[in-house]
A and B are shown apart, each in its own frame.
Chain A
Amino acid sequence: MKYIDEFRDGDVARKIADRLATEARGDRQYSFMEFCGGHTHAISRYGVSELLPTNVRMIHGPGCPVCVLPIGRVDMAIKLALEHDVIVCTYGDTMRVPASDSLSLTKAKARGGDIRMVYSAADALTVARDNPERQVVFFAIGFETTTPPTALAILRAQREGLKNFSVLCCHVLTPSAITHILESPEVRQYGTVPIDGFIGPAHVSIVIGAAPYEHFAEEYRKPVVIAGFEPLDVMQAILMLVRQVNDGRAHVENEFTRAVDRDGNLAAQQKVSEVFELRPSFEWRGLGEVPYSALKIRPAFAEFDAERRFDVGYKPVADNKACECGAILRGVKKPTDCKIFGTVCTPENPVGSCMVSSEGACAAHYAYGRFKDIPVVTA
C-alpha cells in the first residue's frame, strides 16, 4: 500500500541502523520511552530493538488504551449489561480485558449479556436506531484518536433525538499521562527509570498537533520526536533523539510531517471540546489516580452520559497480585520480569491488561519477541 511499504524497507532500516551505530556515543547509555502502544507494537513486530546499538534502550510507555483501563471501569460496563439489561457496544480489544469475578465483557456475553463488538462509535448509533425498545450504551475508551468519533456520535444522537443511546466515557489524555510519568518518583528521585527523551505518538499527534509536547521539552528538558507508526519512522525518530541528546538539545521535532503539524486537527478538537470537559481525576491501571487526565461528558449532553442515566458508580478494584502490568506500564519492569508472563498469562488467557491488546507490551513481546529470550544451545 502506498505510504506504507516505502516506510518498511529493510535496506533503508539497515542504513539508519548504521548511522545510529556511528552516532550513538559508546561512553553513555540512551533510554527513550515510546509512549504509544502503536510504536510498542511496531518495535516488536519489525524487530527494531535488534537493529539498535546495545546502549540504546527503548522503554515501553502506557499509551495502550486497553492496558490503562482499570478493572473498575470494565466492571461498570459488565454491570450495565448484566443488571440493567442494556446493550453494551464496544471496541474489540475491550471485550477481553480481565475484570472482577474472573469476568470480562466476552465472558459476560457468554452469561447472557447483550454485548456487541463494534468497529466505530457510529456503528453503536446504528445499533441504537435498530433497537428503539432497548437502551444502548457505547463503552468508549481510548486516547485523543478515538475521542472525536465519540463526540460525533453524541452530537448526532442529539440531532436525531435518540432517547436510547448513551456513552460510558473513559477517554483519557496523552499529555497528562506523560506529565505523570515525568513526575513519578522512579523518574525524578530514584532514577530507576532513566528517560532521555520520548517518541511522540503518531495518530494522537495528528489530532492534538505537536504543540502540547513543547511543555515537556521546555519544562523537563526532555527531547520529543513525533514519529509515524512504520518501522523506518521509529528508527529515524530514535536517530533524531540520539542527535538531540548528543547536542544537549531538548526540542520537539517532528518526523511525521506527512500527517502532523503544530496545531493538529482543529475540526476534531472543536467537536471534542463541544461535547467533553476535563475530569478532575481518573484512575489509570498502573498509574493510579491521575489529575485532569481524562474527559467526561458536559452537562449540556447529560442525557447521553451513561454514568448519569444509570446507577453504576465507579469502584476501584486492585489488580491481580501476581500481575506486573502496573510496573510495566510505568516503565519500571519489562514483560519478562513478570513471573506469570507466557505461562499463566497468555494472549488466549490474559491475566493482565498488557497481554490483551496487540499494542500491549506483554502481548507484543509474547507474539514477536519471546523466542529471542531463549539462548540457543547446540546439542
Chain B
Amino acid sequence: MVNLGGIRKEVSIELVPEAQVGDYVIVHVGHAIGMIDPDEAERTLALFGEMSAATGVSA
C-alpha cells in the first residue's frame, strides 16, 4: 500500500523486494520500480546551483 500525496493505492513491490513499510518508492504503472535514497536526495538538494566545485558526481 502506498500513499500518493493523500491517495492510497495498492502497488506491487515484486520488483523491489527490499522495500519496507515507511520507505519511499518510485511507482510506474502500478509497480514500484525503485527506491528513494533519503541521504542522496538531501545531497542533491544541497547541490542545486552551487559553484562548480560541487560537480563531478560521476555515476
Contact = CB atoms under 8 A, between A and B. Distances in A.
Interface of A: 1-4, 6-7, 12, 15-16, 18-19, 23, 91, 119-123, 142, 145-146, 148-149, 152, 203, 206-207, 210-211, 226, 228, 232-233, 235-236, 239-240, 243, 251-262, 265, 267-268, 271
Contacts, number: 123
B30 A120 contact: yes
Contact of A258 (B14, B17, B36, B59): B36
B58 to A, nearest CB: 6
A189 B28 CA distance: 38
Nearest to A226: B59
26 contacts: A6-B41, A19-B50, A120-B29, A122-B31, A142-B29, A148-B15, A149-B12, A203-B33, A207-B34, A226-B59, A236-B48, A236-B49, A239-B49, A243-B55, A252-B59, A253-B57, A254-B57, A254-B59, A256-B44, A258-B40, A259-B34, A259-B35, A259-B36, A260-B59, A265-B16, A265-B33
Contacts of B15: 148-149, 152, 265, 267-268, 271
A146 B15 CA distance: 12
Interface string B31-47: 10111111011011101
A263 to B, nearest CB: 10
Given A2-B24, A19-B50, A265-B16, 13 more contacts: A232-B48, A235-B48, A236-B49, A243-B52, A251-B58, A252-B58, A252-B59, A253-B59, A255-B57, A257-B43, A258-B38, A265-B15, A265-B33
Nearest to A210: B59
B16 A267 contact: yes
A255 B50 CA distance: 13
Interface residues of B, number: 35
B29 A149 contact: yes
Nearest to A23: B52
A15 B33 contact: no
A267 B57 contact: no
Interface string B6-27: 0000001011110000001010
A145 B28 contact: yes
A239 B52 CA distance: 9
Contacts of A2: 24
Nearest to B24: A3
A258 B58 contact: no
B4 interface: yes
B21 to A, nearest CB: 16
Contact of A15 (B30, B48, B57): B48
Contacts of B29: 91, 119-121, 142, 145-146, 149
B7 to A, nearest CB: 10
Contacts of A257: 37, 40, 43-44, 57, 59
B33 A206 contact: yes
Residue in A211, A258, A271 whose Cβ sees the most chain B Cβ within 10 Å: A258
Given A3-B41, A259-B36, A253 B56 contact: yes
A4 B27 CA distance: 13
A229 B24 CA distance: 16
A267 B17 contact: yes
A268 B35 CA distance: 13
A18 B30 contact: no
Nearest to B43: A257
A268 B28 CA distance: 13
A226 B15 CA distance: 21
B48 A259 contact: no
Given A16-B48, A16-B49, A145 B58 contact: no
